[in-house]
Amino acid sequence: MEVHAILTTLVMPPLAPLLGLLLALVLYFFPATSLFAKLSLPLAILSFAVLWVCATPAFSTWLGERLGKSTEAPDAVPQAVVVLGGGRYRDAGSGSERLSATSLERVAWAAQRAPAQLPVLVAGGRVYEQEQLSEANLMADVMQEVFQRPVTWRDNCSRTTAENAVNTAAILHDSGVESVVLVTHWWHMPRAAEVFARAGLQVRPLPVGSSAELLPRAQGGLLRWMPSAAAMLRTQLYWRELLARRWYRWMPLPAVRSC
């Protein structure tokens, strides 16, 4: 998992263009007559331009639109609701854990908008060894205690979206469930719906939000081309999702993961 995270970070902004700037600095110290030294300025300009553009709302909006939409809903009537975890916050000092804003939004969305008569499965394990509780347990606690929505199944072992899919399919197939309402964020839904379908479940998407929320109203005109931390975060998120979606289409499904 750590190797995968490092490789992903290397090809994403801001690290990728920053490495380009660092390489340009190294090339600058080669002899002035060498080809490497002549490449230093163009590389520095290109890297700076990429870093700037990636941090603009205009680019993050464009990149988010490239994600597309999830597949059309099947004709089959859903038999269960599946809510995917989206991370947690962990206090390094006390070790206390709580759902991240992303996970909490998914739980709230499912509790308020998913068909009330359907049983619920929450999916998400412990990604790192120092984590104490599975995301599924954290989600189930909030779902039941805050929203008074019972949770029937918990996938406590999966660490990735692909593992979410195969573990969920195994749990639900044992209960005779073949069609589900899938709850995750709109930018994650295309990849999640595809891999859940590959795992053997018919998916009716219930995405949190939509691509229409990409750009706040205040960020119009020239502000769309001014870098911001929020735009860079969105660029990282969408870029990672595009890479992961293509990777998932190439990779075979993993085996069912046990804790």
* 116-170 confidence digits (pLDDT tens): 999 999 999 998 888 889 999 999 999 999 999 999 999 999 999 999 999 999 9
Q: What is the C-alpha radius of gyration for the chain, rounded to an integer number of angstroms?
A: 21
Counting the structural domains of the chain, the total is: 2
Is the predicted pLDDT of residue 185 greater than 90, yes or no? yes
At residue 214 the predicted structure's pLDDT band, cuts being 50, 70 and 90, is low
Say if 258 falls within a structural domain: no
- Mean pLDDT score, 162-190: 96
Cα–Cα distance list, 118 to 36, 45, 72, 79, 153 (Å): 63, 55, 20, 6, 12
Question: Does 174 lie in the same domain as 125?
Answer: yes
Is the predicted pLDDT of residue 217 greater than 60, yes or no? no
Question: Does 235 lie in the same domain as 195?
Answer: no
Say if 124 falls within a structural domain: yes
Question: Does 134 lie in the same domain as 56?
Answer: no
At residue 255 the predicted structure's pLDDT band, cuts being 50, 70 and 90, is very high
Question: Does 117 lie in the same domain as 11?
Answer: no
pLDDT of residue 72: 62
89-118: per-residue pLDDT in tens? 998 888 889 999 999 999 999 999 999 999
The Cα 166–Cα 158 span in angstroms is 9
Question: Does 8 lie in the same domain as 89?
Answer: no
pLDDT of residue 41: 95
Say if 73 falls within a structural domain: no
Say if 30 falls within a structural domain: yes
Question: Does 135 lie in the same domain as 55?
Answer: no
Question: Does 171 lie in the same domain as 91?
Answer: yes
Domain that residue 229 falls in: 2-66+225-244
The Cα 181–Cα 162 span in angstroms is 17
19-66: per-residue pLDDT in tens? 999 999 999 999 888 888 899 999 999 999 999 999 999 999 889 888
Question: Does 151 lie in the same domain as 94?
Answer: yes
Is the predicted pLDDT of residue 216 greater than 70, yes or no? no
DSSP state of 78: P
Question: Does 91 lie in the same domain as 23?
Answer: no
- Mean pLDDT score, 175-189: 96
Question: Does 192 lie in the same domain as 109?
Answer: yes
What CATH number is given to the structural domain containing 202? 3.40.50.620
The Cα 57–Cα 51 span in angstroms is 13
Q: Are residues 183 and 206 in contact, defined by beta-carbon separation less than 8 angstroms?
A: yes
Question: Does 97 lie in the same domain as 58?
Answer: no
pLDDT of residue 131: 83
At residue 2 the predicted structure's pLDDT band, cuts being 50, 70 and 90, is low
